[in-house]
Amino acid sequence: SQQGEEDPQALSIQEGENATMNCSYKTSINNLQWYRQNSGRGLVHLILIRSNEREKHSGRLRVTLDTSKKSSSLLITASRAADTASYFCATDEGEADQGAQKLVFGQGTRLTINP
Amino acid sequence: DAGITQSPRHKVTETGTPVTLRCHQTENHRYMYWYRQDPGHGLRLIHYSYGVKDTDKGEVSDGYSVSRSKTEDFLLTLESATSSQTSVYFCAISIGTGAYSSNGYTFGSGTRLTVV
């Protein structure tokens, strides 16, 4: 079953604008992660936010987490053509055996940056 | 992707044949995972491993088996391939765990499998 649900499914903006993607989930989590996937490639880990954190920054990325609403947002500032990719949120529910980190992924947001 | 390789990258096979996909890591990570990615479903966990010879099922394990005889290798076998198993398969590794983890997954580049 899908834990994370991203919104919107697709987003197209002009280079230099900010892009915001949202993720909602259903159960309690240990952490929430965001990944990027370029076409035909594997996913790349961008940022992790723990359940006791509310906001986290990494370069041009800002992630927020609202556990009361079971939602997260990923903001990419000053977008570039190279940011064109699909972005996925993933939740770690912390129920795995022996400490494995079984992530549950959403269906992703396809972001297109137009030059 | 540094430290993790999948083979083959592409494969076409016939319905009913067994298929084995390989994931190899050089990071000495304890945890390894197999996911499949399909349009409309995102990524779904097939099986995972938490050590040599220690594996468990994920969300969509029916029709798949895994083995891990060495830390560095995690094999995914489709026992009798069906058209519904046409997909892109990703292997991932991780070192972190639970509430104190600061690390996510490192993914391989994927194997595109077509069952005809």
What is the per-residue pLDDT across B28-63, written as a single tens digit (0 to 9) for each? 988 999 999 998 888 999 999 989 999 999 999 999
CB contact under 8 A, A97 and B56: yes
* A93 pLDDT more than 80: no
Q: What is the CA radius of gyration of chain B?
A: 14
- Which residue from A30, A88, A105 is facing B99, i.e. has the nearest CB? A30
CA B27 to chain centre: 16
CA pair distance A115, B31, nearest whole angstrom: 40
Q: Is A57 helix (H, G, I), strand (E, B) or coil?
A: strand
pLDDT band at A2 (very low <50, low <70, confident <90, very high): very low
CB contact under 8 A, B42 and A31: no
Cα A55 to Cα A30, A49, A71: the distances in Å are 15, 7, 12
Tell me the per-residue pLDDT of A9-28, one tens digit each, with 9 for 90 and over: 999 999 999 999 999 999 88
Instruction: Give the residue on A whose Cα is nearest the Cα of B46.
Output: A102
pLDDT on residue A95: 60
Q: Which of B31, B33, B21 is nearest to B77 (CA)?
A: B21
pLDDT band at B102 (very low <50, low <70, confident <90, very high): low
Give the distance from residue A98's alpha carbon to the nearest chain B alpha carbon, in angstroms.
6
Q: List CB contacts (< 8 A) between A21 and chain B.
A: none
pLDDT band at B9 (very low <50, low <70, confident <90, very high): very high
pLDDT on residue A3: 59
Give the number of other CB atoms < 10 A from CB of residue B111. 23
